[in-house]
Amino acid sequence: MRQLLEVSDLSKTYGREKSAVKALDSVTFTLTEGISYILGPNGSGKSTLIKIIAKLIRSDSGEVRIEGKPLPEYPLQKAGFAFERPVLHPRLKVGEYLMEVAEYRGEDNTEDLIELFGLESVRKRRFGELSMGYKRRFLVAVAFAGYPRVVFLDEPFSNVDIIAKTEIMEGIQTVQKERGISVVVVSHVFDNLPKIDSLVVLYGGKVIANPVGKAVKLLKKVRFIFEDETVENDLTRAVELIRKGKDPREVECAGIEESIIELLREGSKS
């Protein structure tokens, strides 16, 4: 499988001197075409990474390549983004905005997306009038408008009920399979999609695992078993418990469990 995203020695620091915070520390990894994950707890550097890829901020050093092209040369018209906290005008209308983005990218697939992501009942409503669940559906649909070559989805399943989550996941899988669009899900929760081709696990601005291809099949679940609680696929909650002095009795995660738990423990002491 061909490489989609190549990140090499990427670093980003916010602030200066004593107040400096290193969000990304010489991050290097590769994701392949298909469906991939950028996984990590809050504060791991995921948001900074996606902002760099979207050309919203610049890295201090390092390189990003998409489909073999250096990031500055890659046209963002070919990439779709759905951010967890978007800045969209509350009065824009669902159907009209989808059409505008689709036409900008060169192919009007508005009707397909409205059907795929269950937006028919709100197509004439304004963004500010939508519930959180419908906002999330809409944002994911916008990312796929015009069928870009790659889509980056930042926490696409957050703050939605199980019905919306299921329909969003089904929509993602359908459009990815039918159109061959590469999808990168950025999340602190590992929601198991049936087909995952590669992933990277971040913690504290560093890469602690980057399984690709067959190695991904070993990582079906990340389960932390504590004395009084079992945390499944939620690294943020696991970090919270470890920082409170609770050590997991067991970590079920074939292939990378030792790396994850070692770095989580180190992070809890800092």
- Residue 136, C-beta contacts closer than 8 angstroms, at least 6 positions apart: 156, 157, 158, 159, 160, 164, 168
The Cβ-side half-sphere exposure at 71, using a 13 Å CA radius, reads 20
Query: So what's the pLDDT on residue 214?
Result: 62
Question: Measured between alpha carbons, how far is 153 from 206 in angstroms, rounded to an integer?
Answer: 20
- Are the C-beta atoms of residues 189 and 233 closer than 8 Å to each other? yes
Helix-then-strand count for the chain, H and E? 7, 13
Task: State the pairing for strand pair 3-14/79-82.
Answer: unpaired
- Model confidence over 129-184: pLDDT tens digits? 999 999 999 999 999 999 999 999 999 988 888 888 888 999 999 999 999 999 99
- Are the C-beta atoms of residues 204 and 267 closer than 8 Å to each other? yes
Q: Over the chain, what is the mean pLDDT?
A: 87
- In this prediction, residues 245-259 reach a mean pLDDT of 63
Residue 180, sorted as left (phi over 0), alpha (psi -120 to 50) or beta, turns out to be left
Rounded to two decimals, what is the model's pTM?
0.81
| Domains, the chain, ordered by start | 3-216 (3.40.50.300), 221-270 (no CATH)
Residue 255 has pLDDT above 50, yes or no: no
* Cβ count near 11 (within 10 Å): 16
Phi, psi of 64, rounded to the nearest 5 degrees: -125, 130
Q: What is the DSSP letter of 124?
A: T
- In this prediction, residues 9-28 reach a mean pLDDT of 93
Residue 27 amino acid letter: V
Question: Measured between alpha carbons, how far is 81 from 255 in angstroms, rounded to an integer?
Answer: 30
Question: Measured between alpha carbons, how far is 46 from 51 in angstroms, rounded to an integer?
Answer: 9
- Are the C-beta atoms of residues 131 and 142 closer than 8 Å to each other? no
Q: Is 88 helix (H, G, I), strand (E, B) or coil?
A: coil
Identify the band that residue 192 occupies on the pLDDT scale cut at 50, 70 and 90: low
Q: What is the DSSP string of 138-193?
A: HHHHHHHTT--SEEEEESTTTT--HHHHHHHHHHHHHHHHHH--EEEEEESB----
